[in-house]
Amino acid sequence: MRKKSGLKLFLIIACIAILCYIALNGLEIGIYRIVPLAERVQQGLDLKGGLYVVYEADIAPGDPDRDSKIAGAIRVMRNRLDKSNQHEATIAPQGTNRIVVEIPGVDNPQELADILMKPAVLEFIGPEGDVIITGKDVKTAKPGYITGQKPVVHFELHPEGAKKFAEATEKYLGQVIKIVLDGNPISEPTVDEVIPNGQGVIHGMRDIEEAQKLATLIESGALPVELKQVEVRTIGATLGANALERGILAGIVGLSLVFLFMLVYYRLPGLVADLALVVYTLLVMLITVLARITITLPGIAGIVLSIGMAVDANVIIFERIKEELRAGKTLRAALDSGFSKAFSAILDSNVTTLIAGVVLLYFGTGPIQGFAKTLMLGVVVSMFTAIVFTKYVLRLIIDLNVQNKKLYGV
């Protein structure tokens, strides 16, 4: 019995030590390579820098097409982001009439934010003020150069648009067809010949970047609703990295203080609680990585906070055990009744924290949701480590015949 418990205890501690080592340093066995856990954590914008924009759509509250308009706008914005090579960007609806866009690490955040909200309504208008074709008729639009190195946009129309365009160029031969974007004429070419194949060029761009931008806008289509920016946050990469560093430092200091306190105040059980805290920290990080939870700055705060909360259950249990010991119970009996009597209070406490977490997750936006997620994760994981794990290890220790009650703080 005693030998077996000793072996189990040794194995548990060895396992934790190895897992800690792998989590911190990674591991390489032949072709298999495990990267350190910290490197796998998905960082939020506020840590790695980037752009966070909330757009508000101008839609009447009772509009029956509200949802489809928002979905349409998101599609168009996605197109524009993809064409600007921002594949890591995320777009999501928020509430009923808002859209949140998050783009990691951009150089020209404001410019990109502006492009995303451009209505991009393209119209070809004849001399009589009639709309000949619109952006919807355009199949492709590409930037390029024509003679004299002038930047232009080449476009190709869908068959139906091509037909309309052919008819119009025939009708207005020798006259001006205005090309208008969002009400601003960008080019006013004179029709030199009939264009039957639906291919043409738009002049009037200052440089190739402008041509690229216009081509992107035309190809990704017009927004079905009018958008305005109601919240823009840009986070510089240096500042994000600093916030991360300081957050980790706070975590290490907080963890050490809790460690020390538990050890000094509760001695042997305190040491076991500290071990449980190590397991807790490992599990939270592992779940964060596996469940692909993005860690934001408030998310780090949630984790650090939850370290302090995680040992609460242990404090409640250990105080109970002390009481039972003072009442004259044996160690094993005190341990069992300590755990079972403390359980309901611990469960109730954690449920109320979860209630607050759920409310926060539901009503909070952006980074605050990150906080709610890590807080709730922490509560659930700590229930396991503080109760199941601690109890198991303490039992093993008692089996080893460590009976000196002084070690248990009595």
Residues 359-378 that bind another protein (CB under 8 A): 359-360, 362-365, 367-368, 371-372, 375
Match 């503080």 to its residue by tokens: 386
- Closer residue to another protein in complex, CB, 215/255: 255
| Rounded Cα distance, 383 and 210, in Å | 57
What is the DSSP secondary-structure string of 79-117? Answer: HHHHHTT-TT-EEEEETTTEEEEEEES-SSHHHHHHHHT
- Site membership for another protein, residue 220 (CB under 8 A): no
Given the complex with another protein, which of 185 and 236 has the nearer CB atom? 236
The least CB distance from residue 195 to another protein, in Å, is 39
Determine the interface stretch with another protein among 124-132, 161-169, 356-364, 382-390 (rule: CB under 8 A): 356-364
Quote the least distance from Cβ 260 to another protein, whole Å. 9
Residue 388 near another protein by CB under 8 A: no
For 27, the enclosing helix (H) or strand (E) is strand 27-29
234 counts as binding another protein under rule CB under 8 A: yes
The reply on whether position 92 binds another protein by CB under 8 A is no
Q: Residue 36 in contact with residue 25, Cβ under 8 Å?
A: yes
* Residues counted in the chain: 410
User: Exposed (0-12), middle (13-18) or buried (19+): which is 292, by Cβ within 10 Å?
Assistant: exposed
Alpha-carbon separation of residue 207 from 149, 151, 190, 331 (angstroms): 10, 6, 22, 82
Single residue of 28, 182, 207, 348 touching another protein by CB under 8 A: 348
Segment interacting with another protein (CB under 8 A) among 6-14, 84-92, 192-200, 317-325: 317-325
Q: Is 356 in the site for another protein (CB under 8 A)?
A: yes
Nearer to another protein, 131 or 358 (CB): 358
The DSSP string of 317-372 is HHHHHHHHHHTT--HHHHHHHHHHHHHHHHHHHHHHHHHHHHHHHHH--THHHHHH
The yes or no reply on residue 254 touching another protein (CB under 8 A) is yes
Q: What's the gap between Cα 39 and its chain centre?
A: 16
- DSSP string for 118-177: ----EEEE-TTS-EEEEGGGEEEEEEEEEGGGEEEEEEEE-HHHHHHHHHHHHHTTTSB-
Binding residue for another protein (CB under 8 A) from 41, 132, 316, 335? 316
Nearer to another protein, 312 or 399 (CB): 312
Number of residues that bind another protein (CB under 8 A): 77
Closest CA relative to residue 178, chosen from 206, 142, 146, 202: 202
* Structure tokens belonging to residue 255: 């963890």
Residue 405 lies near another protein (rule: CB under 8 A):
no
Shortest CB 259 distance to another protein, Å: 10
Cβ-contact 38, 47 below 8 angstroms: no
Q: Interface with another protein includes 384 (CB under 8 A)?
A: no
| Interaction residues for another protein, span 271-300 (CB under 8 A) | 297-298
Which residue among 23, 43, 56, 169 contacts another protein (CB under 8 A)? 56
Stretch that binds another protein, among 74-82, 118-126, 168-176, 320-328 (CB under 8 A): 320-328
Site for another protein contains 255 (CB under 8 A): yes
C-beta of 200 vs 338, nearer to another protein: 338
Distance, in Å, from the CA atom of 12 to the CA atom of 106, rounded to the nearest integer, reads 46
> What's the rounded Cα separation, in Å, for the pair 4 and 300?
40
- Candidate segments 18-26, 63-71, 195-203, 305-313, binder of another protein by CB under 8 A: 305-313
Q: Give whichever of 47 and 138 is closer to another protein, judged by the CB atom.
A: 47
Examine residue 44 and tell whether it contacts another protein (CB under 8 A).
no
Report in angstroms how near the CB of residue 261 gets to another protein at its nearest: 6
Nearer to another protein by Cβ, of 118 and 322: the residue is 322
Which of 210, 319, 336, 399 contacts another protein by CB under 8 A?
A: 319
Residue 297 CB, nearest distance to another protein (Å)?
Answer: 6
d(CA 57, CA 227): 5
Is 351 a binding residue for another protein by CB under 8 A? The answer is yes
308 binds another protein (CB under 8 A): yes
